[in-house]
Chains A and B, each alone.
Chain A
């Protein structure tokens, strides 16, 4: 078996892996290796041919492939070794008897056969995969013509195959909306986008540009209750749902179509993490991390859609840069956590918070990211340590499809902590930092 020794190994060549590898090199890691199972770098971006990427990071609007290209160029210039067509099968964390003190990545490809990459630090960036019909259980036959939206996107945009002519899309997440427009432009008829929730799942801009522009109906509080057809889809029955998302009898309606696209959510690709014994968060579905994006296995870092599902690639890049930089520091033995970490927990109208822990509070500024449960207008998003206000920001609107962020300044953390510890005698290890949304006008 071939064995190579590197400082930082990165798994996954999507935008997260690209930015992490580049930043690890920039931060001084000498030998960085990037491993990707596909035949080229770029990840999901290569099939996202629409514009909408890079508005924040590059301050211009790029398509997915253009965004990827900029980072691929950086990887080339930085002299980072890239292993394409290479699948990582297993991660053995450092500390395991056979490999200590390094991590081992067991990979396969055609040239090397089985390859073992030993790394002082690893960044995981495997992205996510789509929920499938099995995960949502629609009764009916199992005919051809049912695809996940992302699969259809790859077929149309990269392989030149049209999945069908008359389409119903279940779920109004961004991929579903983007595919509604793409299919329409390619001459298919999108009969409806059906959404079980009372509000759309995707970003506002996609609703406008993908549905309104083409007069595609969006049916909120509706779902597909049956799929018809033996060989090929011939139609679907949809129905309205009640407050408990149960179909309402008597509201059924048949829509003739030859294709059903599912855009019902993404799940972090955590199989490798599970195998390595990394702690997974029940809400995000990705690893639990601190502000450095360090997982419960100290030598393993995580970022991008593997960590939590992002709506904007710009945020993926920022997060991956942190993971890459800190992995480089870890590989040199420079990363130091305080004995007591502060847990970041969701409060009012917050679904989850990333990072879940802050390990070196009071030293550097930390940007926390979170998603809300419900849409609210004109609010404050706040961070509270015990009863102490640590950060507050006014926001015009918060909505579930859009990730919100809040900056925690080190001085504010330290001051609040001192007050709590000195005046109230609370031990730092008992402290949690709550992130929540407050209506404007309330104190």
Chain B
């Protein structure tokens, strides 16, 4: 018989933050208790096998109304890749103006995920 164990995961897929008890059999999740919706099992499975996160940070911008542009990964990246992504983004420089949603970096740190601007950033001279 496969080994059974339970793991506690806090679902962060929505603000409710359910405490999910996942039963694992032979390393595979088979049951989730405590989730208030279906996303809970999906999330808990991912969280146990290979947690993923959306990364938000800033990159320097020249000629803009602010020295920094807030950016984020378009989708989640493996949590173990967060550092690598930060290092890749440390090399990034952008030029104002920037539009929200504009792609700042393709395939960050080999994750296959794009990094996009999360706001409009007008040029300094162009007024507000």
Contacts and interface: CB of A to CB of B under 8 A. Distances in A.
Interface of A: 39-40, 46, 49-51, 55-56, 61-63, 65-66, 68-69, 84, 156-160, 185-186, 203-205, 207-209, 213, 311-312, 396, 402
B54 interface: yes
A69 B119 contact: yes
Given A46-B119, A63-B72, A40 B128 contact: yes
A187 B123 CA distance: 29
Interface residues on B, range: 20 to 34
Given A69-B119, A209-B53, A157 B58 contact: yes
Q: Which label, helix, strand, loop or mixed, suits the secondary structure of the B interface?
A: loop
Contacts of A40: 65, 128
A36 to B, nearest CB: 11
Contacts, number: 79
Given A49-B72, A65-B70, A160 B60 contact: yes
Contacts of A61: 54
B96 interface: no
B45 interface: no
B48 interface: no
B128 A396 contact: no
B128 to A, nearest CB: 6
B58 to A, nearest CB: 6
Give 10 nearest A-B pairs by CB, closest first: A204-B17, A65-B119, A49-B70, A205-B12, A63-B118, A160-B67, A50-B56, A51-B54, A65-B118, A66-B118
B58 A49 contact: yes
Contact of B100 (A39, A66, A157): A66
B86 interface: yes
B128 A39 contact: yes
Given A40-B128, A69-B119, A56 B12 contact: no
A205 B17 contact: yes
A80 to B, nearest CB: 15
A185 B82 contact: yes
A209 B72 contact: no
